[in-house]
Homo-oligomer: A and B are copies of this chain.
């Protein structure tokens, strides 16, 4: 991807700085971890002065929040693509697919996942986009579980609200163990993706009637 738009124009105005900063931020975080990200190095890599990013983001948190918004949008798309392909017959299968999409995305985008999960690096609640998309995912889960209950295929001992929270906590835990690099410490012998899917299967199979 070309980070320097309009490269033939004079160099004073970058022309595409916002997007360039967001991209450079992600690759820089992937290199050195989010704790080591500095706006100044970001600016240097975008061939721009140290103060320039602050024309577009009021501070570092705002910049990372913008990265999070991009990331959350991509996660939402990944999820929607996955559950659209599923038939509408078995809501628990669709619920399973939702979890699979979430975990696969976290597996393949650990940096992005870390950023959308953190509440110290970004300003989650001030971003309408983040709040809404998070809520959308929750609503999808509620709808699927309610449908499963209506169809009588949900384990009758389970309260839907409790189940949805547990399911969220479960996939969040698996994903965070991955991005937090706890897999080694936990003596996981399987390939990471397989370990994730096995765990998910275990959880899903326990909610069916």
Contact = CB atoms under 8 A, between A and B. Distances in A.
Contact of A171 (B117, B119, B138, B173): B173
Most chain-B CB neighbours within 10 Å: which of A118, A134, A135, A173? A173
B118 A180 contact: yes
Given A170-B169, A202-B166, A181 B121 contact: no
Main secondary structure of the interface of A (DSSP, over half): helix
Given A35-B121, A165-B199, A131 B185 contact: yes
Contacts of A134: 185
Give the bracket for the number of chain A residues in contact with chain B.
Answer: 35 or more
A158 B124 CA distance: 38
A1 interface: no
A187 B138 contact: yes
Nearest to A180: B119
A86 B186 CA distance: 25
24 contacts: A35-B35, A117-B182, A118-B180, A119-B181, A119-B182, A124-B185, A125-B185, A134-B185, A138-B187, A157-B205, A159-B198, A161-B189, A162-B198, A163-B202, A165-B195, A166-B170, A166-B199, A166-B203, A168-B177, A169-B170, A169-B174, A170-B170, A172-B176, A206-B207
Given A165-B188, A206-B207, 4 more contacts: A117-B180, A165-B186, A166-B202, A173-B174
Interface of A: 33-35, 117-121, 124-125, 131, 134-135, 138, 157-159, 161-163, 165-166, 168-174, 176-177, 180-182, 185-189, 195, 198-199, 202-203, 205-207
